[in-house]
Amino acid sequence: MKKMLMMLLLSLSISASCFAAGAAGRFNAEEKAADALVAALTGGEATYAQVSKSFSKALKEKLTAENFKAVQDGVKKQIGTIKNANLVLLNKQYDLQKGYSGVDELVYFGTVSRDKFARIFVSFVEENGAPKVTAFQVTPIEPQKNAPAK
C-alpha cells in the first residue's frame, strides 16, 4: 500500500511539472522578445530587424523600420533616456465569464532621472503557435509632489 501511494504521489508530481513546462516556455519566449524590444526603445543595441521578428503580422504592417525609428526618437525626446528597465509584472488577461483570453502583458519599469520614471507595457498573443508582440506603450511616471504641511 505504501509503495502504491508513493508511486501515485511521484506520478502526480512529475505530471504537474510537465504542465508547468508549457507555460514557462511561453513566458521565456515572451520575456526574451520583450527584453529586446525594451532594449531597442531605451537606446540599446537591438535593431528593428531583430525586434520585428517577434511582432505580430498586423504590427509589422503598421510599424515599419522608419516608423519604429520615429517611435524611438519620440520616446527619447518626450520621456528622456530610460535606464535600468526591469520586468516587474506578468499580467494574464482573464475574464471571469470567458476565462483566459490568450493575451499576456509584460510590464517594465525604468529610471529616467532621480524623480522621473517610465512604465513600458508589451502585449502578446499567440500567433501560429508562438507568442507575438501585438502592441507596446511607453508611459512617463512622475511621483506626485506632496504640498508642504500647514
Q: Which domain holds residue 41?
A: 2-141
State residue 22's pLDDT score. Answer: 55
Residue 23 has a pLDDT of: 61
Name the E strands within the chain. Answer: 83-95, 99-113, 116-127, 130-141
Question: Could you tell me the CATH number of the domain that includes residue 56?
Answer: 3.10.450.630
Report residue 69's pLDDT band, with 50, 70 and 90 as the boundaries. Answer: very high
In a domain, 149, yes or no: no
Q: Classify residue 59: in a domain, yes or no.
A: yes
Gap between the terminal Cα atoms of the chain: 74
Q: What is the mean pLDDT of residues 66-72?
A: 92
Do the beta carbons of residue 104 and residue 48 sit within 8 Å? no
**In this structure, is residue 30 part of a structural domain?**
yes
Give which of 93, 78, 143, 88 is closest to 120, Cα–Cα.
88
What per-residue confidence (pLDDT) applies to 98? 76
Domain assignment present for residue 148? The answer is no
C-alpha span between 34 and 28 (Å, rounded): 10
- Domain assignment present for 92: yes
